């Protein structure tokens, strides 16, 4: 499947950052190459207010293949949100074709902004998703306890209601995964699972994810893995090496781990992605 997919196999890349500087200039070629290996549908997340606007504009050029979100990534939570910024975000997120709020969350990795700013931005986006009743595209790294605490506070504020949520690019611990599964969250798996040593724990944990809550993603151009860009020309940038056309490799490894065929995993994860985004199957 990695090189010659079945003609009826359709893959949904649940995170392709097509407005990233490393992809946006070649977006048409990136999409064409992805389509040639069966990757014809992609979620394109917003990471800043400006990028969210660009994402929406790009997706409107390809309304049956690209699906936008609007949000502020924790890496860009560099100050407390202003009223003007919140209104701008609300205006985008409320649009009918913007299918989820995010990418939002917490990340306590070195070089990320102060936790108080991250928490403020995360809280307003959680509440916005609840108000609009739109799914949440979530990011969490090294911040599990605070992440869950803010989610629980928001859920309590809305009388127990919480929209569908996906923890994308999961690379955490088994206990963290089990808690996300208990909360009925969707789980996004990237090419991290393809890494021989670093991906071993994730391969072992994958059995805990219900099949109807599993989505696969490249997180391109991030989360590169060996040979993820082997089909691209040698002159491409290497700092952010990943591309959506690498998704069949992720699909293949997930299938091997779960004892399924790649076609099964492609069908299951596409159906899950479309259900999460309320696109129909």
Task: Give me the helices (H) in the chain, please.
Answer: 21-24, 27-36, 49-61, 83-93, 115-132, 144-157, 174-182, 200-205, 247-258, 262-276
Annotated ligand binding at 184? The verdict is no
| Alpha-carbon radius of gyration of the chain | 18
DSSP 8-state code for residue 82 = P
Residue 73 assigned as binding residue: no
Q: Under 8 Å CB-to-CB from 5, ≥6 apart: which residues?
A: 11, 37, 38, 248, 262, 266
Q: How far apart are CA 263 and CA 11, in angstroms?
A: 9
Residue with tokens 């809550």: 213
Task: Tell me: is residue 103 an annotated ligand-binding position.
Answer: yes
Which residues are part of a known binding site for a divalent metal cation?
A: 103, 139, 168, 219
Which residues are part of a known binding site?
A: 103, 139, 168, 219
């Amino acid at each position: 499947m990695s090189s010659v997919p079945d003609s009826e196999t359709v893959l949904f890349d649940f995170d392709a950052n097509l407005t990233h500087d490393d992809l946006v200039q070649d977006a048409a070629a990136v999409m064409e190459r992805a389509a040639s290996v069966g990757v014809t549908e992609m979620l394109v997340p917003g990471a800043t207010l400006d990028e969210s606007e660009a994402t929406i504009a790009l997706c409107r050029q390809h309304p049956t293949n690209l699906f936008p979100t609007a949000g502020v990534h924790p890496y860009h939570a560099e100050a407390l949100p202003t009223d003007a910024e919140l209104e701008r975000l609300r205006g985008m997120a409320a649009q009918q074709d913007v299918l989820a709020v995010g990418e939002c969350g917490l990340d306590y990795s070195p070089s990320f902004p102060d936790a108080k700013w991250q928490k403020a931005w995360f809280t307003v986006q959680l509440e916005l998703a609840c108000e609009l009743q739109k799914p949440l595209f979530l990011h969490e790294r090294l911040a599990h306890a605070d992440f869950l605490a803010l989610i629980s506070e928001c859920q309590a504020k809305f009388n127990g209601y919480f929209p569908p949520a996906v923890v994308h690019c999961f690379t955490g611990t088994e206990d963290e995964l089990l808690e996300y599964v208990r909360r009925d969250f969707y789980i996004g798996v990237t090419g991290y699972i393809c890494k021989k040593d670093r991906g071993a724990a994730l391969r072992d944990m994958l059995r805990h994810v219900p099949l109807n809550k599993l989505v696969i993603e490249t997180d391109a151009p991030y989360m590169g893995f060996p040979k993820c860009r082997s089909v691209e020309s040698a002159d491409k940038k290497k700092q952010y090496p990943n591309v959506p056309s690498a998704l069949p490799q992720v699909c293949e490894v997930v299938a091997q781990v779960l004892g399924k065929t790649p076609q099964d995993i492609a069908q299951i994860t596409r159906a899950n992605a479309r259900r999460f985004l309320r696109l129909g199957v």
